[in-house]
Amino acid sequence: MGRSCHCRRWGKFMKRILNYFNPNNPPKSLKGADDITIWREKILQSILLIASGLGLTGFIIGYLNGMTIIQARNVFYAFSIAVAGLVITATFRIIPFKTRASILPLLPFAAGIFATTQVGLSANAGIFLIASALLATIVMGLGTGIIYLVGEIALIIGYGTMVNLKMLPVPGGNILSDPSQPISWIMWAVFLLLISSMLLFSINQLVNGLGKSITQQKALIYTVEREREVLREEVKKQTEDLERRLSQLRTVAEISSEISKTLEIEDLLRKVIDLVRINFGLYYVGVFLIDEVGEYAVLRSGTGDEGKQMLARNHKLAVNGPSMIGWATGKKEPRIALDVGAEAVHFNNPFLPYTRSEMALPIIGKNDHVIGAMTIQSYKHNAFDNDDVIILNNISNALAVAIENAELFQKSQKDLEEIEMLNKAFIQKAWSETILQSGDMTYVYESEQNSIKSKSFENLTVPLLIRDQKIGEIEMDLDMENLSEEDTNFIQAISAQTALALEGARLLEQSQRQALQEQKINELSAEFAKAIRVDEILKIALQELANLPLVSEVSIHIQGEDNSYISPNGNGYGNGNGNGNGREQVN
């Protein structure tokens, strides 16, 4: 376990080391630098790592072979110093880039000068000098490369001049040409200039082309990213707008559902305005209904504390008055103010100080009749567009139908209550007359088996109901402990059927009485038709009225112009004695 942890730590350490030396990981000091500098840093670090590796390899080989010759030993020392410089520059990446970049071409430059002084016009010296100018161009730019090239040419010409003037000894070693001839030095300088110039300008073109390509790529990436951001914002905006529209459509669906379920106007208005305010993200929503006179639009429901305060103050606005509600109810058209500060007919409501946009939609019912108006207010300027107007106008139209249906339902409920009251009164009167005619209608049955009641027997009263009107009741002494639900249901059924049967019997008796009365009237009409004298007609009428069971005395009076009673023949009738007082009476 401990060995595994040690291996993991060692692996992480090596990974950090490799990342540190990796040319593709620029040092933090170059954060924010341009792309060309970043690329030059990558090239610089790559060259330093390769040169350091090769230099260390050469150092080890030279050290193992030994340097016995003094001249070779001096070269080895110089080489060791150069390798040390490469390793230090490659390792310490915290050194500023310009310092590290200037060290790299100096090493081959010094090596080239050293080789020139030692062996003269040799291939090794030329390679070092070309490499110096080349590296300066790559890591520091064309200007620095030209400076190195000019310096190298000047040093070679100066050194050659001094050798030809016998001011310095002729260098020995692997000489490509006779250093004692000026033309050799001139040709060597021309060769160096030609090769270096070709390489310098070629590399410069390559680097500049790479820089332009990187710049164009970066500009293209920036343009693409900017267009992508614009597209992303547009998609986001479209998505938000679509979600808002879907939310509005869901609101319309919810309102339609509430309209179909709610028949109380107050509950309906409260639910509708709450749904509109929440789902449309509004400041305030209120509904006004026209009063009976048609003069004012009275606030019937409003959202929030503002709505409660205005309802408590019986807030109302004149139809056709100087307000958007007045305008909408008077003109029967929507009124929209995208900036209430610039709206001529906007009512400055002290309860709604944060209104910036307002919409007033008329609520129009059947036959183009204005029921009221809905006010919709927002915190924002320019809060409404054409789609909002269409959707909210559809809501106001649906609300108009719902209000009319609710009013019709309430009227129907009121009429039904009146009918029920009249029906109850009729039933009460009818059964009161039945009881009056029939007398006491109480019937009692007592079972012989239950003459001795147990302690569990209790009194149960079941009403006799006709259309929810009580006409009597059934009282029973039952064993309540053993009474089952089935028995209870059976008793209820008997009670209901008994009430229906009683009502049917009453209606039948009433019909029979009416038929008998009609028959009597027909017979009386026939008797009247047979009579030819007034007193006979009066006697027949008195006789029939006297036969009624509820009549104890009946009289018929004939009144003259002076309000005195006149007897048709001067003979009285009723008790068998004519009293001559102008009245017919039966006792």
pLDDT of residue 278: 86
Contact partners, residue 533, CB within 8 Å, separation at least 6: 568, 569
Residue 351 phi/psi, 5° resolution?
-80, -15
pLDDT of residue 471: 77
pLDDT of residue 249: 79
Residue carrying the six token digits 């305008």:
327
Contact partners, residue 128, CB within 8 Å, separation at least 6: 108, 109, 111, 112, 115
pLDDT of residue 30: 78
Contact partners, residue 441, CB within 8 Å, separation at least 6: 434, 435, 472
Contact 164, 180 (CB under 8 A): yes
Q: Which fold has domain 262-413?
A: Beta-Lactamase (3.30.450)
pLDDT of residue 373: 93
Contact 248, 277 (CB under 8 A): no
What is the b/e burial string over 314-334, where b = at least 16 CB atoms within 10 angstroms of the residue's CB? Answer: ebbbebebebbbbbbbbeeeb
The structure tokens listed for 264 are 């109380």
Q: How many CB atoms lie within 10 A of CB 571?
A: 12
pLDDT of residue 75: 65
Looking at the chain, the domain(s) classified CATH 3.30.450.40 span 262-413
The structure tokens listed for 118 are 């030692």
pLDDT of residue 415: 83
pLDDT, one tens digit for every residue, the chain (587 residues): 556 666 778 878 888 888 887 877 878 777 777 777 877 788 778 777 877 777 787 777 767 766 544 455 666 777 788 788 878 888 888 888 888 888 878 777 877 777 777 666 665 677 777 777 877 887 787 788 788 888 878 887 887 788 778 776 766 654 444 555 564 555 456 445 544 554 565 466 566 667 777 788 888 888 898 899 999 888 888 888 888 778 777 777 777 777 777 778 888 889 888 888 888 889 999 999 999 888 999 999 999 999 999 999 999 999 988 888 999 999 888 988 888 877 766 677 888 888 889 999 999 988 888 999 999 999 888 888 888 888 888 888 888 888 888 888 888 888 888 887 887 777 777 777 777 777 667 777 766 655 555 556 777 788 877 777 777 788 887 777 777 888 888 888 888 888 788 777 777 877 887 888 788 888 778 877 877 788 778 888 887 777 776 677 877 777 766 655 555 443 434 433 333 333 444 44
The structure tokens listed for 52 are 């350091």
pLDDT of residue 303: 92
Q: What's the pTM value of the predicted model, to 2 decimals?
A: 0.46
Helices (H) and strands (E) in the chain, counts: 13, 10
Task: State how far Cα 7 lies from the chain centre.
Answer: 54
